[in-house]
Every structure is written in C-alpha cells, then in structure tokens.
Amino acid sequence: MPGKALSKLKKRSRSCKEQDKRLRDAAGLWKKEVQHWEREVATHPDKDIPQPSLRQFSKAHNVNRTTLARHTNGAPHTTKAESSQMQQKLSPEEEGALINAAIDQGRRGFPLTHDR
C-alpha cells in the first residue's frame, strides 16, 4: 500500500532540511578547497596559481553565494527551523504534549473534531 501524500508543510520542511545540509556540506568543501589552494601557493611560490572562485563554487554546489560566504567566515548561523522558533506560539515540548493528548483522546474513542 503506498504511503500518504506529503502535506505542503512537510514538503517545505524537508526542502529546508535538505538545503541546510547542502549548505553545511558546501561550506566544509569550500574550506578544504581554500586550504588546498593556500598549501599549493606556499609550496610553489614561483607558480601563478589562481585563487578559487566562491561564485563558481556556489553555482556548482547550488547554494547561495552570500550565505556560503557567511558560513565560511564564521558568522553565527542557525537553520531556518531554529530561527523561526521564536515566532512560534508553542515550544516544541508543548507541541509534542498537545499532539500526544490529541492521539490519546482518539485512542479513547473521543477524537478531536472542529466542534470541540
């Protein structure tokens, strides 16, 4: 039996998590690439080795150039889920408690409806 279709909220949440992971991965790779370039320049001072381009790198890894620069320069950063936490009415613990209460009510034979 196929699974349920994902809601727009679930799809958006999954997309944000994937984007955050892609950005973290790209930031790590960029740091390694810059370190490699610095080692090459130090070991071969007579060669003209071009500096890696953040713009080209960000395009190749499908991440925003400015955001990638902030991540690699050590600016404090949070995920979209963490930054939107302050705008929510309920804390994650309260959300969990409310969900568990609704599930418990349903198991007892008193499912939540729009009337209640």
Note down the domain range covering 104.
84-116
Same domain, 51 and 96: no
Same domain, 59 and 111: no
Domain count, the chain: 2
Same domain, 63 and 93: no
- Give the model confidence (pLDDT) of 17-59 as tens digits: 888 888 888 988 999 999 999 999 899 888 888 899 999 999 9
Cα separation of 27 and 71, whole Å? Answer: 6
Same domain, 17 and 51: yes
**With contact defined as beta carbons under 8 Å apart, do 61 and 26 qualify?**
yes
Same domain, 13 and 48: yes
Whole-structure pTM over 0.75, yes or no?
no
Cα separation of 84 and 75, whole Å? Answer: 18
Same domain, 68 and 114: no
Same domain, 39 and 95: no
Same domain, 31 and 52: yes
In the chain, the percentage of residues whose pLDDT exceeds 90 is 24
How far is C-alpha 113 from the geometric centre of its chain's CA atoms? 35
